[in-house]
Amino acid sequence: MASFPDAGTVTEGCDVSVKHVLNWTTILVAIPVGCAASLVTLGFRHLIELINQLLFHTDRDITVAMTVWPWYCWPLIVGLGGAIAGFFLRYAISLERQQTSKTDYLDVINARLDAVPTRTSLFRALSSIASIGSGASIGKEGPMVQLSALCGSLMGRFCFKSVAINNSEIVAMAAAAGLASVYHAPLASAIFVAEIAFGITALQRLIPLIIAAATAVMTMWSLGLRNALYPFADVRFQLDPTTLLLTVAIGLLSGLLGWLLIRMIGRSRQLFSYIQSLPLRLGLGGLLVGALALVSTDILGNGYEVIVKIMAGHYLLPTLLLLLVLKMSATALSVGSNAVGGLFTPSLLVGALLGVIIATLALQAGLPVSNTLLFAVVGMGAVLAAVSQAPLMAMLMALEMTLNSSLLFPIMIATVLAAMVAWRLQAASTYPVVTQHFNRADAKLDFDNSIIEQLIVPGAALQPHESVGRALAVSSLKKERYVYVINDLGHFLGVVSIHDISRKILDREITLDSPVILVMDAQFPCVFRNQTIREGWEAFAQVTLERLPVLNNPQDRKYLGVLTKTSLIRKAKDFI
């Protein structure tokens, strides 16, 4: 009987990188992809404008441009444009049928396909140009986003082919960027691609939460509380190189500060755990916080009023620095001593302090900062994102609390950077459920990107000339229903079923000394070592077997071992 190495031996030497949902590579790839996608949409827009110039000798909207022609020409123009579009579309569909491939970027992302088909996408775009240019009642965003996705697909295949990112992820980035450049709505565009392409099922659970939250806000409004929590709607954030630099600095430092706050809370909990009596523990924590309040009473409470005063410019730089240190210490003491309460507002206060401190230091260094107080909001969202590990929630909260839409872009940058820094520093969220979500997402990503070779285990195998009696003995020893048959070179030939052997012996068709090749089934399902674990999962879904033979490739068909259903279940249990 042939022997084969165990799973550890088979995978030894393989370069299996550790993959996480969050990594800097993805962030760095997203930047050029976003730039390229915006240029694609801009080019498409200019192409439509050029067609308008050629057809109507004006760059005005089609609703006005069409009037340069006599009224009786209008149906002909739109009809001719539609006919031309139809030709392009028919050719695109014929290409799709020949290639049996999906063109739409949402299908590519959802199915995690390798690429957006180039020719079909281009001909569909030409069809759209003919329709739009002639005045058809359709939007421009569809072809713009499709071409952006195609651009992302090409960049993934040629510019980032050595980067460990699935090409469908880059297509998703490009699609979101394309939609954002059409509507100037980055947050909504990202959410659109996420909920539609990555799976709407989970996001549908948001609907009752949104209704409940909206009802609560409407109730507050009916009671006369219509103002923003931190009114800052009348001040505009001016985006320039200086403010962008400050935003990035706040994001990175907020991540570091959030990580430090989490570490301080963890250390405080560890020290307070030596005190078994909860009254004594909380009493000591309160005593220490009260001692800090001797320096400044602004550290007491959740910090709401202090944030209002910070936004009103009541503090000088030395006081801001002192409050930052004291508030973080007081929060660590209170939370560490098991005081029941939340971290939202304390985190917001820490962020507001950090944002204004950095902006003030930049102003004193001679940088042109017009309004240092606006950066309080940027810091609030960033530190909240770092502490909670929920950047989307943090950026939306910061916007809704201030009702200042000009802060959307800087808050998006800062919150993402802060959450990334805190996560990469291995800072767990202060909300355990968020950490659990991240762990499940990491496990799911690892499952989707792992290959069968990593789960190979030995399986019983015989030579074709060995006896069926030997097959029965091996089956009894290994407790397997099937014994695999290989030749002298280790190539897979087929399997013998213990049930078939037993039946044929009883029918006197064979004896125990007959060679196994007489009862061998050559048409047995198998998997290959470089296939993904998900493909292995799908292979098991088609059969009622507990094990499948693993071969090196479809050409050589060299037997390497077996893939078990149990190993797949164990691999999937962390995210199911």
My answer on whether 29 and 178 are in the same domain is: yes
Q: Could you give the CA distance from residue 389 to residue 556 in angstroms, rounded to a whole number?
A: 48
**Does residue 481 share a domain with residue 412?**
no
Backbone conformation region of residue 561, classed left if phi is above 0, alpha if psi is from -120 to 50, else beta: left
**Do 552 and 489 lie in a common domain?**
yes
179 in the same domain as 281: no
Is 19 part of a structural domain of the chain? no
Is 161 in the same domain as 283? no
Specify whether 509 is located in the same domain as 363. Answer: no
Among 447, 470, 504, the domain boundary falls at 447
366 domain residue, yes or no: yes
Q: Is residue 8 part of a domain?
A: no
For residues 436 and 422, what is the distance between their CA atoms, to the nearest angstrom? 16
Alpha-helical regions (H) of 275-373: 278-293, 304-311, 317-336, 344-364
Residue 519 lies in a domain: yes
What is the model's pLDDT at position 435? Answer: 67
Rounded CA gap, 229 and 376, in Å? 14
Q: Give the residue carrying structure tokens 């409940």.
A: 212
Query: Which of these three, 447, 473, 491, is where a domain ends?
Result: 447
One domain, residues 260 and 393: yes
| Residue 476 Cα distances to 3, 329, 347, 460, 495, angstroms | 17, 66, 63, 11, 16
Whether 79 is covered by a domain: the verdict is yes
- CA angle, corner 416, sides to 209 and 109, nearest 5? 70
Helix (H) or strand (E) holding 428: none
Residues found in the chain: 576
**Cα gap 324→1, rounded to integer Å:** 71
Distance, in Å, from the CA atom of 459 to the CA atom of 54, rounded to the nearest integer, reads 71
In a domain, 227, yes or no: no
Do residues 443 and 460 share a domain? no
Number of Cβ within a 10 Å radius of residue 470: 17
* Rounded Cα–Cα distance for residues 460 and 472 (Å): 11
| Residues 6+ positions from 177 with CB-CB distance below 8 Å | 30, 33, 34, 37, 38, 148, 152, 189
- For residue 162, report the phi and psi dihedrals to the nearest 5 degrees: -90, 0
Q: Indicate whether 266 and 383 sit together in one domain.
A: yes
Q: 328 and 420 in one domain?
A: yes
Supply the CATH number for residue 93's domain.
1.10.3080.10
**Total count of domains within the chain:** 3
pLDDT computed for residue 226 by the predictor: 60
* Among candidate residues 510, 360, 424, the one with its CA nearest the CA of residue 18: 424
Question: Which pLDDT score, from 0 to 100, does residue 9 have?
Answer: 33
Full DSSP string of 236-255: ----SHHHHHHHHHHHHHHH
Same domain, 428 and 494: no
List, as own/partner pairs, every contact residues 75-82 make where C-beta atoms lie below 8 angstroms and the sequence separation is at least 24, other chains included: 77/134, 77/135, 78/134, 78/135, 78/136, 80/134, 81/130, 81/131, 81/133, 81/134, 81/135, 81/136, 82/130, 82/131, 82/134, 82/136
Domain termination residue (choose one: 194, 228, 259) = 194
Measured between alpha carbons, how far is residue 565 from residues 4, 387, 559, 572 in Å?
Answer: 19, 39, 18, 11
Give, for all 576 residues of the chain, the pLDDT tens digit: 333 333 333 333 333 333 444 577 887 888 889 889 889 988 998 898 898 888 888 877 777 788 888 988 888 888 888 889 889 998 988 888 887 667 788 778 767 777 888 999 999 999 988 888 888 877 788 888 899 999 999 999 888 888 878 888 888 888 888 888 887 777 767 877 775 666 544 455 555 565 667 677 677 677 776 666 776 767 788 888 899 999 999 999 999 999 999 999 999 999 999 988 888 888 888 889 889 888 988 888 888 888 888 988 888 999 999 999 999 999 998 988 888 777 888 899 999 999 999 999 999 998 988 888 889 999 999 999 999 887 887 888 888 788 788 888 899 999 999 999 998 887 666 666 566 666 777 788 788 778 898 888 888 889 999 998 898 888 888 778 888 999 988 999 999 888 888 888 888 888 889 998 888 988 899 999 888 888 888 888 888 888 899 999 988 899 999 999 888 888 888 777
Calculate the CA 16 to chain-centre distance. Answer: 20
Task: List strands edge to edge, sheet with 559-564.
Answer: 527-528, 547-551, 559-564
Q: What is the pLDDT of residues 149-169, one digit of tens each?
A: 999 999 998 888 888 788 888
95: in domain: yes
Q: How far is the CA of 18 from the CAs of 417, 440, 447, in angstroms? A: 21, 15, 11
In-domain check, residue 229: no
Q: Which two tokens stand for residue 163?
A: 């980067």
CATH code, domain with 560: 3.10.580.10
Residue 308 and residue 395 in one domain: yes
CA–CA separation, 230 and 404 (whole Å): 10
Domain that holds residue 279: 241-447
